[in-house]
Structure 1
Amino acid sequence: MTRWVVGVAGAVVVAGAVAGCDVPPAPPAAPGPSVLRPPAPTVAPTAAASPPAAAAAPACPEGGVRLLEGPGDAAMGLRVADVQLVNCGTQPYVLEGYPEIRLLDRKRAPVEVTVVHGADGITGAPTGVEGVPQRIELQPGRAASLAMVWRNLVTDSTVPAAEGWVLDVTPRPGAPRLELELRHSVDLGNTGKLGISPWKAATR
């Protein structure tokens, strides 16, 4: 009897050992949770901000001077206007006497007008066109001025009124001609006369 128990016990042990050989080993522990960090953003190199480019100054005309329209005045049909000539070159520019002036319309066709020195036949009041021609030497950046006077008057309804929108100016004999587009027209009516001053050193 005792031997059977021992035998049984031995069999059980052997069976357990055999059974233990058929049981697969426990799976390895799962790895703990990991945090995935997004890659650091790539910052592209940027060039240093540059200041805005300054507006380019208009080119100086061939003759080394340019024309500018000055202020004007109008009262009771009498018109007075001012034109400036600026030395935009690098050398002194000499003026003496009166410029040669033509008036052109919007299409740059010549306007029929008689240009006179002074205000004779236009007005007896002082207008700035008076004066004796003098020699003026403009250093670079300096300006001279020219006054003009006329009447906006229609004396003959059968004659079309003339209106100039462009000044065609030869500042001195032999110099290249300059054109100045006007903001305010030379509205002659049908008087057909424009008075001009000699060149004067600009006071402003």
Structure 2
Amino acid sequence: MRRVLWGVLVAAVLAGCTGQAPRALPPRAAAPSSEPPAAAECTADGVAFSLGGADAAMGVRVLNVEIVNCGAEPVTVDGYPSLRLFDGEQEDPLAVRVTHGSSAVATVPALDVPPTPVTLAPGESAWAGLVWRNLVTDATVPATTAVALDVALSQGTDWHQVPLHPTTIDLGNTDTIGLGPWQRLDQERTDRPGEAPNPTAPPSNDPRDRT
């Protein structure tokens, strides 16, 4: 499943080299340091947030927001997560347009599936894909680069900071992100301790993956 999803995303991005408004919030802490991010914490929503599956092709970027049910009860997610992005000052959200689906950015069929409720038992995971372009079309317009990301399970739920370091969301001056709905993340690999499946992870060179 991991290899199939990665192939769908990257092939679609290459072939397709064709919201929601951010809300105000109080000032945030200082910009992140160069230290690696700490392990994801279990939030009051009963999930831990992380990022995975980063990839870039011909100026198009894809990235997954992933959650795992870290509580003792089932958690249901439905629809699309909410996003807000910040620059190094981290005071106000960047003016970024978040569109549902990939069509405003590129053709990525895996992000264009209809949203359906996903119920996660303890230990199960889900993912939602992001796609954007690093493109500068007007040299007079400052390029936008986000170094911090907040994610909520859905509109109106609590925000949670998800460390981006060392990744950035480099939008150039396109100001648009395509966002897919929450989808179940199949945890089909159990033969490598500590390895989590990634929908956009590159194909493995391990002979065991060729059977």
Q: Give the TM-score category using the shorter length.
A: 0.5 to 0.7
Select which of 138, 150, 156 maps to 1:156: 138
Select which of 104, 111, 136 maps to 2:118: 136
Deviation at 1:130? 1.5
Scaled by the length of structure 1, the TM-score of the pair is 0.68
| Counterpart-to-counterpart distance in 1, 2:40 and 2:103 | 37
1:198 aligned onto 2:184: no
Once the two structures are superposed, residues 110-135 of structure 1 have per-residue CA deviations (whole angstroms, 9 ceiling, x without a partner) of 11110000112211x33531211011
Select which of 100, 107, 128 maps to 2:89: 107
- Root-mean-square deviation (CA, aligned residues, Å) is 1.6
CA contact (8 A) 1:127 1:149 kept: no
> Which aligned pairs between 1:1-204 and structure 2 lie closer than 5 A?
59-109=41-91, 110-123=93-106, 125-126=107-108, 128-182=110-164, 183-203=166-186, 204=197
Write the letter of the residue equivalent to 2:174. T
| Counterpart-to-counterpart distance in 1, 2:129 and 2:109 | 8
CA contact (8 A) 2:40 2:49 kept: no
Report which stretch shifted further, 185-194 or 109-118: 109-118
Write the letter of the residue equivalent to 1:62. A
Scaled by the length of structure 2, the TM-score of the pair is 0.65
Write the letter of the residue equivalent to 1:117. H
CA contact (8 A) 1:168 1:178 kept: yes
Larger radius of gyration: 1
CA contact (8 A) 2:41 2:49 kept: no
Once the two structures are superposed, residues 60-82 of structure 1 have per-residue CA deviations (whole angstroms, 9 ceiling, x without a partner) of 22221111110211111011111
Runs of at least 5 residues in structure 2 that lack an aligned partner in the other structure: 1-38, 187-196, 198-211
The structure with the largest strand share of the pair is 1
Aligned length: 147
Identity among equivalent positions (%) equals: 40
Write the letter of the residue equivalent to 2:76. V
Deviation at 1:173? 4.3
